[in-house]
Amino acid sequence: MSAECIEYMAIKRVFRRAKGLNKRIIFPEGEDERIIKAADLAAKQGIIKPILVGNESAIRRTAKKNSVNLAKFKIIEPAKSEKLGKYISLYSKLSKVSRKTAERVVPQPLFYSALTLRAGDADGMIGGIVYTSGDFIAVCKGVIGLRRGIKVPSSFFVMELPGYKGGEKGNLLYSDASVNPNPSAEELADIAISTGQTAKSLLGWKPRVALLSFSTKGSAQHPDVCKVINAVELAKRKAKGMQIDGELQADTALRSEVAKKKIKGNIGKVAGKANVLIFPDLDAGNIAYKLTQILAGAKAYGPILQGFAKPVSDLSRGAKVEDVVGVIKITAVLASRWK
């Protein structure tokens, strides 16, 4: 994520809503200088009440070096925490492991932080600036779990396209472009539902979700097309009331005049008017968002994780302080609207 990404109009509206929320956001990489700086900036705006997890002495040294006042921070050293026993019991029950095994696992900052969120002692969690995305997602999936009815986590990008009149005032959501290499029909349906829910909860949109393919309504026959068709049927059954359609080629999803030519009869509420695009695999999603950036001069904010039972966000290990602040704001807004 680049610093310029935080200038999007769609994202700016989210950022404005973040001020004054004072959400308890926990950071398993609390010793990292960028985390401390970003949490400080967010705390000063009343966005969060930061919870830093790690070695307290190391955290205080880094804070002092960067002139950060920790008065509004909560610092937790897991091995010394008064809630350690509670979380050991919780992890033992969740993972069906012995208490002895749980005693070795839970004091690790990432596991401890995930259990804090699972127990309701935090409102959201942000990590990945030190941990790999794979490790971060695996622990979140195992400890926090996924939203009811969702079987796979995924990610989304907010895309702002200069001069584009479609989508949602020139903005689109792309998914999944960073997590699932080759999702099954069932997984693709869950990705579509999760992204539609994100469009509504984070951005306040009425989602119009298009599942993309190289075929429109049976214009081509191939197992890859069948996968998308099956995903559409599953998603519609699971998310009644959400506007979902497919299989659609990209031009059919985004241009009404094309949709009218390619679809017989009523084109529905999604074709030609989609604001959420679901790609059939990681190749398509990743290539599409990068081409959109380069060729259309679009800005891409993300990837942001979705599909979990609680608000969690992954960071790039190359993230700058301003990038972390942006993710903090998004996570705080998601936490404020969580059901």
Is-contact 148 255, C-beta < 8 A? no
Q: Are residues 194 and 118 in the same domain?
A: no
Tens-digit pLDDT string for the chain (339 aa): 443 443 456 778 888 999 999 999 999 999 999 999 999 999 999 999 999 999 999 999 999 999 999 999 999 999 999 999 999 999 999 999 999 999 999 999 999 999 999 999 999 999 999 999 899 999 999 999 999 989 999 999 889 898 899 999 999 999 998 899 999 999 999 999 999 999 999 999 999 999 999 999 999 999 999 999 999 999 999 999 999 999 999 999 999 999 999 999 899 999 999 999 999 999 999 999 999 999 999 888 878 899 999 999 998 888 899 889 989 999 999 999 887
Q: What is the CATH number of the domain that holds 104?
A: 3.40.50.10950
Give the pLDDT confidence score for residue 11 in this predicted structure: 75
Same structural domain, 130 and 204 = no
Question: What is the per-residue pLDDT for 304?
Answer: 87
Do 197 and 140 reside in the same domain of the chain? Answer: no
SS (H, E, C) 109-145: HHHHHHHHHHCCCCCEEEECCCCCHHHHHHHHHHHHC
- Residue-level pLDDT at 109: 98
Q: Which CATH number fits the domain that encloses residue 190?
A: 3.40.50.10750
Select from 39, 36, 29 the least CA-distant residue to 331: 39
Q: Which helix (H) or strand (E) holds 246?
A: strand 243-248
One domain for residues 98 and 209: no
Domain assignment of residue 222, given as a range: 154-300
Could you tell me the maximum CA-CA distance found in the chain, to the nearest angstrom? 68
- The pLDDT assigned to 338 comes to 86
Number of domains into which the chain is organized: 2
Residues 141 and 277 in one domain: no
Residues 6 or more apart whose Cβ sits within 8 Å of residue 2? 323
- CB hemisphere CA count around 309 (13 angstroms): 18
Pair (195, 141) in one structural domain: no
Same domain? 189 vs 265: yes
pTM, entire model: 0.87
Q: Are residues 209 and 271 in the same domain?
A: yes
Do 296 and 168 belong to one domain? yes
Nearest to 327 by CA among 112, 114, 59, 39: 39
Clarify whether residues 282 and 165 are in a common domain: yes
Asked whether 317 and 290 are in contact (CB, 8 A), the reply is no
Return the bridge partners of 312, or none: 125
- Token pair of 43 as six digits: 């705390």
In this structure, the answer to whether residues 110 and 205 fall within a common structural domain is no
Residue 214 has a pLDDT of: 97
Q: How far is CA 262 from the centre of its chain?
A: 33
Residues 159, 200 within the same domain = yes
Query: What pLDDT does residue 1 have?
Result: 42
